[in-house]
């Protein structure tokens, strides 16, 4: 007796992207009024000029719905065409219920397979890999991936080590079948031995060992990005757009520098969305790409290399073609 398997698509691609941010802009000067910090220190050490904080009544799920709506419109895909919704996030108000089922319902995606995925700031790239594989395996037709975070719920508002870094927002991608590969294999992994470098416990505020995380990210992440290129059969010189998770501009620059040492082009566009968005964890990669596309610094058909990393510690990256 053998079981029947479904036949999946030969390949997948990103059909559309979208994002949203809360209206409230918070500058470094605003923060310096409530904690011992200053604009110059934040710009020099982190690269952030301003960020967006959600109001009390604007929830992670609300932002996810907005980003999902804009990605569906960008892709020209109707909610009825989507059968799976994945919401990578690490900042729901409580573990139950998840975000994805509510988001699917509010978007009019009936009876969707819906689950959250927690790989912290690596969440979007993990979820993009899962979405692509679901379609290739025949488990899903089209998948909506929405990285959404309300980090301000989990950061002490006067903790100068973290409140200056983290922010709120959501970014989404619609993934669908394709004849030619538009999303490369994911390179992912974890370093659970470093779990104590970023954590929240017992619903308390986020704590991190900034310097340990900084060292790890600046030394361990570029090789994963190179691995993702190798898996996709690409060279560093093929990359048009590098979108690292927007954790710290100095980390972004260090990753870009290592890729260039390995052959990436000088004219490779490097995401610096952290300047105006802060660190929005699993939302940061699709949000950065959406903002870059809106500004015209990237275009449809560009080869994007995305690389996420963060608490866990977890990391994941892949190459894909910009919609
Ligand atoms: C958090 C981070 C910005 C701190 O920068 P840093 O250079 O390591 O700063 P340090 O903690 O060593 O502090 C350096 C000095 O600045 C001071 N300082 C710390 N935070 C400050 C702030 N917000 N404003 C002003 N001064 C500050 C410290 O007191 C210290 O002063 P001292 O030299 O007089 O003792 C940096 O470590 C970082 O970005 N790490 C990675 C974190 C990250 O990206 N996490 C998310 C991963 S997804």
Give the per-residue pLDDT at 4. 94
Instruction: Tell me how far the alpha carbon of residue 246 lies from the centroid of ligand 1, in angstroms.
Output: 16
Give the per-residue pLDDT at 148. 98
Is 4 a domain residue? no
Give the per-residue pLDDT at 202. 79
Give the per-residue pLDDT at 201. 84
Same domain, 226 and 163: no
In the structure encoding, which two tokens stand for residue 82, read together?
């989507």
Give the predicted TM-score (pTM) of the model.
0.97
Is 162 a domain residue? yes
Is the beta carbon of 247 within 6 A of some atom in ligand 1? yes
Ligand 1, atom 25, residue with closest C-alpha: 37
Ligand 1, atom 15, residue with closest C-alpha: 41
Mean pLDDT per 10-residue run, the chain (323 residues)?
94 98 98 97 98 97 98 98 98 96 97 97 98 98 98 96 97 98 98 95 90 97 98 98 98 98 98 98 98 97 98 98 98
User: Rounded CA gap, 270 and 253, in Å?
Assistant: 8
Rounded to the nearest 10°, the torsion over CA 144, 225, 119, 192 is 160
Same domain, 172 and 196: no
Any idea what the CATH number is for the domain that residue 58 is in?
A: 3.40.47.10
Give the per-residue pLDDT at 203. 79
User: Rounded CA gap, 63 and 171, in Å?
Assistant: 9
- The DSSP result for 68-88, as a single string, is HHHHHHHHT--GGG--EEEEE
Cite the active site residues: 121, 245, 279
Residue of 47, 84, 178, 186 lying closest to 129 (CA atoms): 186
Same domain, 101 and 233: no
Same domain, 18 and 152: yes
Strand, coil or helix: 12? strand
What residues make up the domain containing 292? 187-321
Is the beta carbon of 310 within 6 A of some atom in ligand 1? yes
In the structure encoding, which two tokens stand for residue 138, read together?
């025949």
User: Rounded CA gap, 260 and 235, in Å?
Assistant: 11
Tell me if the bond preceding 97 is cis, omega within 30° of 0: yes
Same domain, 36 and 172: yes
Distance of alpha carbon 203 from the chain centroid:
23
- The total of structural domains in the chain comes to 2
Ligand 1, atom 42, residue with closest C-alpha: 210
Domain final residue pick, 153, 178, 203: 178
Domain final residue pick, 147, 178, 209: 178
Domain final residue pick, 178, 201, 225: 178
Give the per-residue pLDDT at 277. 98
Instruction: Tell me how far the alpha carbon of residue 182 lies from the centroid of ligand 1, in angstroms.
Output: 39
Same domain, 138 and 191: no
Same domain, 80 and 216: no
Is 5 a domain residue? no
Is the beta carbon of 154 within 6 A of some atom in ligand 1? no
């Amino acid at each position: 007796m053998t079981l029947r398997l479904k036949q999946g698509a030969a390949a997948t691609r990103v059909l559309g992207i979208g994002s949203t941010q809360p209206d409230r802009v918070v500058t470094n000067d605003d923060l310096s009024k409530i904690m011992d910090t200053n604009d110059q220190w934040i710009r020099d050490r982190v690269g952030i000029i301003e960020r967006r904080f959600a109001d009390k009544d604007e929830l992670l799920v609300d932002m996810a719905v907005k980003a999902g709506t804009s990605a569906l419109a960008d892709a020209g895909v109707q909610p009825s065409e989507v059968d799976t919704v994945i919401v990578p996030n690490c900042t729901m108000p409580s573990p139950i219920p998840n975000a994805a089922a509510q988001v699917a319902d509010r978007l009019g995606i009936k009876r969707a397979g819906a689950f959250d995925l927690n790989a912290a700031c690596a969440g979007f790239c993990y979820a993009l890999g899962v979405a692509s594989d679901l379609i290739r395996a025949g488990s899903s037709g089209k998948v909506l991936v929405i990285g959404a975070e309300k980090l301000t719920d989990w950061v002490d508002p006067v903790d100068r080590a973290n409140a200056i870094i983290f922010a709120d927002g959501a970014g989404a991608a619609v993934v669908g079948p394709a004849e030619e590969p538009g999303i490369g294999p994911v390179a992912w992994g974890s370093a659970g031995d470093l779990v104590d470098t970023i954590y929240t416990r017992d619903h308390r505020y986020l704590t991190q060992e900034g310097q340990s995380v900084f060292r790890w990210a600046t030394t361990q992440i570029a090789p994963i990005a190179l691995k993702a290129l190798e898996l996709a059969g690409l060279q560093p010189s093929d990359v048009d757009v590098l979108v690292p998770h927007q954790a710290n501009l100095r980390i972004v620059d260090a990753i870009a520098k290592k890729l260039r040492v390995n052959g990436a082009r000088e004219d490779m566009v490097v995401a610096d969305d952290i300047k105006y968005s802060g660190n929005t964890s699993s939302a940061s990669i699709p949000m950065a790409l959406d903002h870059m596309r809106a500004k015209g610094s990237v275009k449809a058909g560009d080869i994007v290399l995305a690389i996420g990393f963060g608490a866990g510690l977890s990391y994941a990256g892949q190459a894909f073609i910009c919609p």
